[in-house]
Structure formats: structure tokens, C-alpha cells
Structure 1
Amino acid sequence: MHVKDIMKEEVVHVDKDQNIQDALKLMKKHKISRLPVVNINADHDRELVGIVTEKDIALRLGSSKYGNLPPSHFHVSTVMKQDPVVIESTQNIGIAAETMIKNKIDGMPVINDCEIVGMLTKTDFLEICKGKPFNSTNIADRMETDLVTVSPSDRLVHARRCLIDKEVGRLPVVEEDILEGIITAKDVANAMMSFRKIVPDKYKNARIRNLLVGDVMTQNVKTIDGGSTLEQAVTVMLENRISGIPVELDGKLKGIITKTDLINFVVELEEVS
């Protein structure tokens, strides 16, 4: 199977000179978390110059270096990652999955002859994570158990720092071993954006440190039992448009299963076949 067989052909992009508010609006409208960044050259062609994600925006907005600047002052070009990883549409999906894991990315532009023809994300792999052996492999055998967690009373800047240092996209929010919610890079980005709109510049640096995880986190989180199968996890992820599911046993948090865990399994299976 090749990249072209599972990629999304619709490519939503953003110009490098647009501001990050425009980028976030596009992400929300199209229910995506990353955008190729383009520059219109002299021939009016769209030249790929970078990629921007919700996480990139969250990290920049939470930086003390830019604490007093309103969101309208942030152009996409100041936040994006330059020289993005790309993949040819004719490449094998095993190579594509391995490329994502190696580069610690959740998606990449698909190209043909230097032209963007699609986007490939970890979500695109989920549709092939069905049937054997996904319907006979328990989540407990593939989930991540070395968890980084935060509490509702932790400051949002601490959660942001954890997302950066541990290179994860979400953090379970736990109080006395009980799962209270989950906070993601998207939650941080939206909270930082809203905060900057309503708080006067001279108070931003001081007040941003008073934002708590409990004020921003998603409550009533979808969970899954450790005895469920990977195929069942895939179904929950697709139906709820989420990238990770906390795993509980006997009412207590024991791990988390993510798209990355599933992609790792795909790579292993491709190497065997």
C-alpha cells in the first residue's frame, strides 16, 4: 500500500504573512491541527516554505519572550517550522509511518514533482488499523504506561512546559489517582489566544501565570478499558476525533493509548511483511 492510497487530497494551507489567528480559524473550520505554509512567488505559484501546528502556536504564545504582544502581531512565519518533512505519494506506507516516528511529527505534506498533492497524518493510518492483528491485540500490550500527568491546581505554564519537555501532545489531569480531565496543546493554544485578547498588555505577564490547568482542561474524558483491543481504540479515536485515550483498570488511570502507539505497531508489521 502506498501513501496515495490513504492520504487526504484536499490541502488546506496558510500564507506565511497571515497571522496566527487566521491559522487557528482555518484549523478549527476544517477540524485539522496542522497547516502547510506557503509563499506566493513571482510566478504566482504556491511555494511550500514551512508547516505550522496547534502545538507550535501554543508554545510560542506561552513564551515569556513574547508575553506582551497581542496575537495579531504574530505572523505565521514567526511560528512555523521551516523546511518541513515531506513524502512522495508513491512511497510505501511503512516508510511514511517510520518517517513520522523518526521526525516526531503527526503529519506531513505529500508531494509529486515538488508540488503539494495531499496531506498525510496519523489519522489517515487509523483506517488500516482494523482486522488482524489489531482486533486481537489488547491495548494493555501497546499502551504507554510511563505517564506525565498534571493536576487541576497546576499552573497552565507548567503544563505547557511539560508538553515541550516531554514532547507529547496531551497530558492526563489527575487528582489522587483519579482522572479528572485531559489537557492538550490545542487547549493551551486556545486559552493563550483568548487570554491575550481580553487582558491588557501591562498585566499579561503577571496574570498568565495565574491560569490553572483546571480552568482549561477538557472534563468528562473518554476512556477505555485496558482489556479492549487496538481496533476498539481506533473506533473510539475516529468517532470522537481524538488522538489519544486514557486507559483505566478498576477505575484508575493505568496508561494512555495514542495514534503514535498504533503507528509504531504499523511500522513493526510492515517490517515483518
Structure 2
Amino acid sequence: MNVGEVCNREVIIIDRDGSIRDAAGLMRKYHVGNVVVVEEKNGDRFPVGILTDRDIVLELIALDVDINAVTVGDAMSFELITAREEDNVMETIKRMRHKGVRRIPVVNDRGVLEGILAVDDLIDSLSEQLTDLARLVMGGQQRETEKRL
């Protein structure tokens, strides 16, 4: 299975010049824990960073930083890792674990933002697969029992 099959295509984005308050408002409005910071070129959106609710709390509020004095670009994660749509899901999970990230922007071959892959998406997908496998085993056992009767 590839990342493009699992990722969420509805990505909440913001410009690096956006305010922290605007970013937090978007997260609240869309019930998400992050915004992807993008740079627009010729109508295409290229991810340049990510800002999470955790970043806001731990790096700004907990340190008593005046959120009106910084922009999204000042507070976003700069070491952005991305996944391509055709990347293998299991390999991507390993990369995410190695980097300690719960969300990763998904890009196409040109680096244009196409989606976002979050741990929650992966859990949903893997849970569905495990349920299908369990039903397969249970169905086989039930058929064997019925044949014996």
C-alpha cells in the first residue's frame, strides 16, 4: 500500500507570514492539530514547514512568548520531512518513527502538496486491515464447523 492511498487530501494550510492566532483559529475551526505552512508558486503550494498545536503550547505559551510578536514562519518546524504519494506506507511509518513526527505532508513528484499523513490515518487504515483479517480467519473457522455438521 502506498501513502497516496491512505493520506488525507484535505490539508489545512497557512502562509509563513500568518499569525499564531490565525493558525490556532484554523486548527480549532477544522478540528486538526496542525497547519502545513506553504509557499505558493505559479498557483502550486509547496510545503515549507509545519506548525502543530504542541509547538504553540510548548515553544510559545509555555515560554511566555508574546504570540503577537512572532509569525507562523518564526515558530514552524523547519526540518520538514515529506513523503511522496507513491512511497510505501510501512517505510514511511519507519521514517516518521525515526524522526519522531506524528504527521507528514504528502507531495507529488514536483514537490507540490497533495495531502497529509497522520498517525490517526494510519491507525484507521491498519485497524480496518486487521478487522478484515480477523473476519477472514473467523469465516474460515465457521465454514469448517458447518462442513463437519
Q: When the two structures are superposed, what TM-score results if normalisation uses the length of structure 2?
A: 0.78
Counterpart mapping for 1:195-234 below 5 A: none
Counterpart mapping for 1:84-163 below 5 A: 84-113=80-109, 114-127=111-124, 128-129=126-127, 130-131=130-131, 132=133
Tell me what 1:25 maps to: 25
Q: Which amino acid aligns with 1:115?
A: V
Tell me what 2:53 maps to: 54
Cα distance in 2 between the residues matched to 1:47 and 1:4 = 17
Counterpart mapping for 1:238-257 below 5 A: none
Tell me what 1:209 maps to: none
Over 6 Å off, 4+ runs: none
Alpha-carbon offset, residue 45 of structure 1: 4.1
User: 5+ unaligned residues in a row in structure 1: which ranges?
Assistant: 134-273
Tell me what 2:73 maps to: 77
Q: CA RMSD in A?
A: 1.7
Cα distance in 2 between the residues matched to 1:122 and 1:74 = 28
3-state SS in 1 of match to 2:68: helix
Cα distance in 2 between the residues matched to 1:50 and 1:58 = 17
Contact 2:106 2:115 in 1 (8 A): yes
Tell me what 2:11 maps to: 11
Cα distance in 1 between the residues matched to 2:26 and 2:15 = 11
Alpha-carbon offset, residue 46 of structure 1: 2.9
Q: Which amino acid aligns with 2:45?
A: R
Tell me what 2:2 maps to: 2
* Alignment CA distance shift 1:5-1:45 (3 Å): closer
Percent of residue pairs identical: 27
How many residues are aligned here?
128
Cα distance in 2 between the residues matched to 1:121 and 1:47 = 18
Q: When the two structures are superposed, what TM-score results if normalisation uses the length of structure 1?
A: 0.44
Cα distance in 1 between the residues matched to 2:101 and 2:114 = 19
Q: Which amino acid aligns with 1:28?
A: R
The superposition leaves residues 90-145 of structure 1 with CA deviations (integer Å, 9 ceiling, x where unpaired) of: 11110111111111001010011211111000011122223257xxxxxxxxxxxx
3-state SS in 1 of match to 2:29: helix
Higher RCO, Cα 8 Å, sep 6+: 2
Alpha-carbon offset, residue 38 of structure 1: 1.3
3-state SS in 2 of match to 1:97: helix
The superposition leaves residues 10-50 of structure 1 with CA deviations (integer Å, 9 ceiling, x where unpaired) of: 12101100111111111111111111101235x45433211
Structure that is richer in helix per residue: 2
